[in-house]
Amino acid sequence: MNQQQKNRKTIRRLVLMAIGMFGFGFALWPLYNVFCDVTGLGGRAIQISENNNQAVASHRVVSIRFDATVNSSLPWVFQAKEKVHEYNLGVPSKALYLAMNPSDEALTGQATYNVAPPEASLYFVKTECFCFTEQTLQPHESREMPVYFYIKDDLPEHIKDITLSYTFYRQGYTPSGGMNHH
Amino acid sequence: MSTDITSNDLDHAHDGHDDHDHKPKGFLNRWLFTTNHKDIGTLYLFLSLIAFLVGGSMAMVIRAELFMPGLQLVEPDFFNQMTTMHALVMVFGAVMPAWVGFANWLVPMMVGAPDMALPRMNNWSFWILPFAFTMLLSTLFMDSGGPASGWTLYPPLVLQTGNSLAFVVFAVHMLGISSIMGSINIIATILNMRAPGMTLLRMPMFVWTWLITAFLLIAVMPVLAGAVTMLLTDHFFGTNFFNAAGGGDPVMFQHIFWFFGHPEVYIMILPAFGVISEILPTFSRKPLFGYSSMVYATATIAFLSFIVWAHHMFTVGMPLQGELFFMYATMLISVPTGVKVFNWVSTMWKGSMTFETPMLFAIGFVVLFTIGGFSGLMLAITAADFQYHDTYFVVAHFHYVLVPGAVFALMAATYYWLPKFTGNMYSEKWGKIHFWLSTIFVNVLFFPQHYLGLAGMPRRIPDYSPQFADFNMISSIGGFAFGATQLIFVGVILHCIFRSKVKATGQVWEGARGLEWTLSSPPPYHSFTTPPEVSHNMVRHAD
């Protein structure tokens, strides 16, 4: 093989490596999500529809703390109706949040949620939640927002307390200071 | 490649018979269209010298504002733009292009090749850079200002940059393309164009460290390009990669960024290890101690650099197992690094040492880089890092490994090879003055910052509590003096190129070994057009 052919072969391989690593940078995004779902590190709960509810009731109880936050871009009042409550494992339950729009304009928000400790998120099953859809509140409207869930009965013994946290963001708001209407 | 040389020879066969080097005629032909590795190396080195002064001026703004508590000189937002741009310019404009410049000059001469493998691409990878920097620096003059988020460009803060963010992102893309092309060129040259007898394990350490650095660059620059592209689409096109409101995750940016960022710090320091491994044997008049362990240690450091990234983000809320993994993996790096430091000390042991300027900078590197390494070990301890994170202790740590580390190695390399490049000796007296002033003031500048950090002074903030006033003033005085000292460096270089009357011999240094020293000083414009035969006694090491 002469010099030029050898160089071409080297370049081809190295260019492929560079392109591959560019792809890998983007692939980190789904990989990271899969990793978090498998390990529970992102604090994402399990989501299923109510029909394939496989809850097995147990006598063990766990204390759940309900946390509520509103991003500063959204002028809402948002809180849990009951801050702490004890629940039996495996019993489908309901918790209520309360959102109020004190401003004079209709505002749309969407909530993200998080379960702590992350390990518990693998046992936290949500069957219905207001966080899956956009919520629009008319001026001065207030609304109860329910969460339906149960805790799997095989929750590890050492977990005695779980926190479920919601944060409401203004829909379409970008931190660059402008509104993106898409 | 060979076709270029022949066409050059043909073009200039008729003119300039006294110019037996066959340099292209005319300024534009010589510099803008050049495909000669030595000319391109020179261009890279001048660009990085300019960037060093530009980035240094930004550091002066930072130190001037921090001279006293309170806000004196600049607006906080401009201060933040200065910390961000200082880092971007120094990393991508001063240190990285300087190493590519030395690689261009030296790699072909060291392996006995006539030029780089891809001379035209070589021209392109250089000439992208001035445009990228113009774009990056122009953001400072835009309405929305330059990036002010720190060089790590963390969202959501960086997304508050106005439309100038697009310029920053495209500048980073161009810098990345330039680095990747440069790396492909260097790898192709090293793998395919070595002279007969120049086996891989006979290559000088500088060539080895650059080969490994080039692979690191190709592996991680595209990842940075991907990360900033995601920032761009999040900012302008409504994607939600890092926007929590849309289901994204800002912490994920930190993971992707540092997957690039940690190998990046080794990209800046591995060629420095190579240079030190060239200089210490020359002035100790002994072969490099433990050559093959140096090669394996470099490769080990490069591998480990891919699995330690999260030590930059211990405080984001990782699970304990993750923190322990990244802590132990990070501490593991001190093993191959220790191998290198002990090898350097053993190289000097019982050598007939002389202390010319390159040797002074090399010894300064070994001592001061090791101090930076030790503070890195302290930062690696997860529990302690919760105290040190985002304080001036971190600033002191990475400036110790980058300024008296990478930058001292660049200065050592400049003094060591400048007589070879120009054919003239530099002024030893002014070189030594430059070394001693730099060494004293770099410590006055950065050592107090350890104490500031341990006492809790946060980084990237233009104001501070009055308790930090004394150490900040000392640090600022050191900073101004260190900055002024570098004007001596510029003077020594210009004097050596244009004014020096003392001619250098081909070997330049009594103890110098290796192919580049077998050429004349300055080397012919086209060197090693016939490959040299490399024998065992021409290489530096004994094993």
Same domain, A31 and A71: no
pLDDT-based confidence at residue B450 (cuts at 50, 70, 90): very high
- Token digits for B135? 């774009």
Q: Which residues of B touch A (CB under 8 A)?
A: 1-2, 117-118, 155-156, 159-162, 180, 183-184, 187-188, 191-193, 218-227, 230, 234-235, 238, 241, 243-247, 249, 252, 255-256, 259, 318-319
Residue A46, in any domain of the structure: no
Same domain, A16 and A68: no
Residue A119 sits in a domain of what CATH number?
2.60.370.10
- Per DSSP (E only), the strands in chain A are 46-47, 61-70, 77-80, 84-88, 93-100, 107-116, 124-129, 135-137, 142-151, 161-170
Q: Is B257's pLDDT higher than 70? A: yes
pLDDT-based confidence at residue B207 (cuts at 50, 70, 90): very high
- Token digits for A57? 């009731």
Question: Strand pairing partners for A135?
Answer: A109
Q: Which structural domain range is residue A15 located in?
A: 1-39
Q: Do B245 and A14 touch (CB under 8 A)?
A: no
pLDDT tens digit string along B118-150?
Answer: 999 999 999 999 999 999 999 999 998 999 999
pLDDT reported for residue B3: 40
Average pLDDT over residues B389-400: 97
- Token digits for B171? 């500048």
At A32 the three-state DSSP class reads: helix
pLDDT, greater one: B5 or B85: B85
Q: Is B414's pLDDT higher than 60? A: yes
Q: Is B14 assigned a catalytic role?
A: no
Same domain, A95 and A19: no
Mean pLDDT of chain A: 84
Q: Is B115 assigned a catalytic role?
A: yes
pLDDT, greater one: B197 or B63: B63
Average pLDDT over residues B342-368: 96
Same domain, A18 and A106: no
Same domain, A84 and A148: yes
Average pLDDT over residues B354-361: 97
Residue A73, in any domain of the structure: yes
Q: Closest Cα to residue B88, out of B159, B156, B166, B148?
A: B148
Same domain, A27 and A73: no
Same domain, A23 and A74: no
Residue A86, in any domain of the structure: yes
pLDDT-based confidence at residue B29 (cuts at 50, 70, 90): confident
Q: Is B352 assigned a catalytic role?
A: no
At B286 the three-state DSSP class reads: coil
Percent of chain B with pLDDT over 70: 95
pLDDT tens digit string along B505-535?
Answer: 999 999 898 899 999 999 999 999 998 988 7
pLDDT-based confidence at residue B499 (cuts at 50, 70, 90): very high
Q: Is B20's pLDDT higher than 60? A: no
Residue A48, in any domain of the structure: no
Q: Is A45's pLDDT higher than 80? A: no
Q: Is B105 assigned a catalytic role?
A: no
Q: Nearest by CB to A7, from B118, B238, B245: name it.
A: B118
Q: Is B311's pLDDT higher than 60? A: yes
Residue A180, in any domain of the structure: no
Chain A residues in contact with B259 (beta carbon < 8 A): 25, 28
Same domain, A33 and A96: no
Average pLDDT over residues B112-116: 94
Task: Find out whether A28 and B252 touch, Cβ atoms under 8 Å.
Answer: yes
A16 inside 8 A of chain B by CB:
no
Prior bond to A30 cis, omega within 30?
Answer: no
Same domain, A86 and A138: yes
Average pLDDT over residues B458-480: 96
Q: Is B318's pLDDT higher than 70? A: yes
pLDDT, greater one: B16 or B228: B228
pLDDT-based confidence at residue B475 (cuts at 50, 70, 90): very high
pLDDT reported for residue B394: 97
Q: Do B188 and A3 touch (CB under 8 A)?
A: no
Average pLDDT over residues B418-432: 96
pLDDT-based confidence at residue B82 (cuts at 50, 70, 90): very high
Residue A133, in any domain of the structure: yes
Measured CA to CA, the distance from residue B333 to residue B377 in angstroms comes to 9
Name every residue whose Cβ is closer than 8 Å to that of residue B478 and which is 6 or more positions away in sequence: B441, B442, B443, B444, B445, B446, B448
Same domain, A114 and A165: yes
Q: pTM for the whole thing?
A: 0.89
Average pLDDT over residues B434-438: 98
Task: Please report the number of interchain residue pairs, chain A to chain B, with beta-carbon separation below 8 angstroms.
Answer: 108
Interface of A with B in 76-105 (CB under 8 A): none
Same domain, A31 and A95: no
- Token digits for B52? 């060093």
Chain B residues in contact with A18 (beta carbon < 8 A): 180, 184, 218, 221-222
pLDDT reported for residue B40: 96
Residue A157, in any domain of the structure: yes
Tell me how many domains chain A contains: 2
pLDDT reported for residue A53: 66
Q: Do B223 and A21 touch (CB under 8 A)?
A: yes
Percent of chain B with pLDDT over 90: 85
pLDDT tens digit string along A68-81?
Answer: 999 888 899 999 99
Q: Nearest by CB to A18, from B118, B193, B218: name it.
A: B218
End-to-end CA distance of chain A: give it in Å, rounded. Answer: 56
pLDDT reported for residue B422: 95
Residue A151, in any domain of the structure: yes
Same domain, A81 and A150: yes
pLDDT reported for residue A65: 94
Task: Find out whether A22 and A47 touch, Cβ atoms under 8 Å.
Answer: no
Q: Which of the residues B194, B262, B399, B540 is marked catalytic?
A: B262
Measured CA to CA, the distance from residue B129 to residue B133 in angstroms comes to 6
Least confident of A38-52, B186-200, B227-241, B346-360: A38-52
pLDDT tens digit string along B325-347?
Answer: 999 999 999 999 999 999 999 99
- Per DSSP (E only), the strands in A101-160 are 107-116, 124-129, 135-137, 142-151
pLDDT-based confidence at residue A178 (cuts at 50, 70, 90): very low
